[in-house]
């Protein structure tokens, strides 16, 4: 349990902070005295956030966000005064409001599950148009249901009202438990999905809907504009975060990229050291075993580098080369940590699984080794380190000096650390 929390610390913190901000937003908005006038203002703001979200999701080709925003925008329009005045006239508005609220709280969570299972395959594509058809089908079905069932319905038709009363959570009846169970199932499905910026935003979006349930019985449709604004902001943040990850994170290793390194170097003060690390004979290894196995080696090296002490900030510089930045440290203060890193990598063999390995690992390790299912390779690295001096004032000069030290380490026989 402790390891699970440790591995997902940032994710849990993201959900806790996000939930707190969402709750405070609802609390502050609903404490406003003239909510009726505030409702219209918030409605216009929600349209603005939708437009911004549509623009960003289209520009960054984020189809998941685009289509979720499309669903919410459609439901926001259905709830607007213009629709009730010119399309759905002569209806029971009490029942209409109940249906709209329930449609929002039922359709959006199930669509979050639906889109979380798909990869990003573009908006203006076959896959994009097929998803659009699904969304239009949902919208058409809702409009038909509204038009057919609401005209000339008596306000005393209690059976019809009860059928749309799922969100009456103030009453301790089975509807309350049904809705809570529904949201719990959706939540479980979303949190076990792949962790990325968009899927994480879907979880936070669902939490926003769950939090709003505390207010929907007392304030009804008045909370919807704020709910849509919060939802759009969450999705917009997800797009921005996805773009940041693409620009500043290495997808294979999960380390920060070279661009992030240059940004970090601009923040450094008078003292810092830079180490350049290169995997020995990596090209020959790639030629022998293929790029898939080579990628596994890069991932293994990245895991070791992340554990480097001394306050090191680690980056993938490119190819099989990595960079370690030690803010406020001299070469002498870095050597010990770099030597420890080099030894850890050299002392841990890398096992290559063969095609004829058994489906299940035998109980005895000897039988597993005899099966020819694995092959052991020794991976080593060479490291060069340099620090900022009066002669090496610019970051580029420190990197160049560390690179020269790296090549000296290779020329001396590899699997060692050399300093400037």
Catalytic positions are 320
Question: Helices 93-116 and 197-219 meet at what angle, rounded to 10?
Answer: 160
Cα separation, 116 vs 142, whole angstroms: 23
Cα separation, 149 vs 165, whole angstroms: 15
- Using alpha carbons, select from 187, 169, 197, 229 the residue that is nearest to residue 48: 229
Cα separation, 119 vs 407, whole angstroms: 42
Residues shown for the chain:
420
Task: Report the C-alpha dihedral over residues 76, 78, 79, 85, rounded to 10 degrees.
Answer: 140
Cα separation, 212 vs 219, whole angstroms: 10
Enter the DSSP assignment of 91.
B
Residue 189: count of CB within 10 angstroms of its CB: 17
For the stretch 9-27, what's the b/e string if a residue is b when 16 or more beta carbons lie within 10 angstroms of its beta carbon?
Answer: eeeeebbeebeeebbebbe
Are the CB atoms for 317 and 261 separated by under 8 Å? yes
SS3 call for 357: coil
Cα separation, 49 vs 397, whole angstroms: 45
Cα separation, 319 vs 52, whole angstroms: 37
Which residues make beta-bridge pairs with 419? 385
Cα separation, 184 vs 206, whole angstroms: 10
- Using alpha carbons, select from 279, 313, 283 the residue that is nearest to residue 299: 279
Kind of pairing, strands 321-327 and 272-279? Answer: antiparallel
SS3 call for 318: strand
DSSP assignment string, 221-272:
GGGHHHHHHHHHHHHHHHHHHHHHHHHHB-TTT--B-HHHHHHHHTT--S-E
Cα separation, 123 vs 100, whole angstroms: 27
């Amino acid at each position: 349990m402790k390891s699970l929390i440790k591995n997902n610390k940032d994710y849990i913190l993201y959900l806790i902070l996000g939930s707190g901000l969402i709750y405070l937003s609802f609390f502050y908005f609903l404490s406003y005295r003239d909510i009726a006038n505030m409702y219209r203002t918030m409605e216009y703001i929600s349209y603005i956030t939708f437009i911004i979200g549509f623009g960003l999701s289209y520009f960054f080709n984020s189809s998941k966000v685009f289509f979720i925003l499309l669903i919410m925008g459609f439901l926001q329009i259905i709830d607007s005064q213009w629709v009730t005045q010119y399309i759905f006239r002569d209806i029971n508005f009490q029942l209409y409001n109940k249906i709209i609220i329930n449609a929002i709280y039922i359709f959006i969570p199930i669509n979050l599950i639906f889109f979380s299972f798909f990869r990003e395959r573009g908006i203006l594509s076959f896959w994009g148009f097929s998803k659009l058809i699904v969304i239009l089908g949902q919208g058409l079905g809702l409009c038909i249901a509204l038009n057919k069932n609401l005209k000339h319905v008596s306000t005393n038709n209690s059976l019809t009202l009860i059928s749309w009363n799922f969100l009456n959570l103030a009453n301790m009846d089975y509807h309350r438990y049904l809705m809570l169970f529904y949201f719990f199932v959706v939540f479980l499905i979303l949190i076990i999905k792949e962790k990325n910026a968009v899927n994480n935003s879907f979880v936070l979006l669902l939490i926003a809907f769950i939090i709003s349930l505390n207010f929907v019985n007392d304030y009804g449709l008045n909370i919807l504009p704020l709910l849509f604004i919060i939802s759009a902001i969450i999705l917009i943040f997800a797009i921005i975060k996805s773009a940041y990850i693409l620009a500043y994170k290495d997808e294979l290793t999960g380390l920060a990229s070279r661009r992030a390194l240059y940004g970090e170097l601009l923040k450094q003060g008078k003292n810092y050291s830079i180490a350049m690390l290169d995997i020995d004979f990596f090209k020959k290894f790639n030629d022998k075993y293929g790029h898939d196995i080579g990628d596994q080696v890069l991932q293994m090296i990245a895991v070791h580098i992340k554990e480097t002490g001394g306050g090191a900030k680690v980056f993938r510089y490119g190819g099989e080369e990595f960079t370690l930045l030690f803010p406020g440290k001299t070469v002498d203060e870095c050597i010990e940590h770099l030597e420890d890193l080099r030894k850890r990598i050299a002392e841990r063999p890398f096992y290559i699984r063969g095609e004829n390995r058994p489906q299940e690992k035998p109980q005895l390790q000897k039988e597993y080794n005899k099966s020819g299912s694995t092959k052991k390779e020794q991976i080593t690295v060479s490291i060069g380190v340099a620090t900022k001096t009066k002669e090496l004032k610019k970051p580029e000069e420190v990197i160049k000096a560390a690179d020269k030290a790296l090549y000296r380490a290779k020329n001396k026989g590899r699997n060692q650390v050399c300093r400037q």
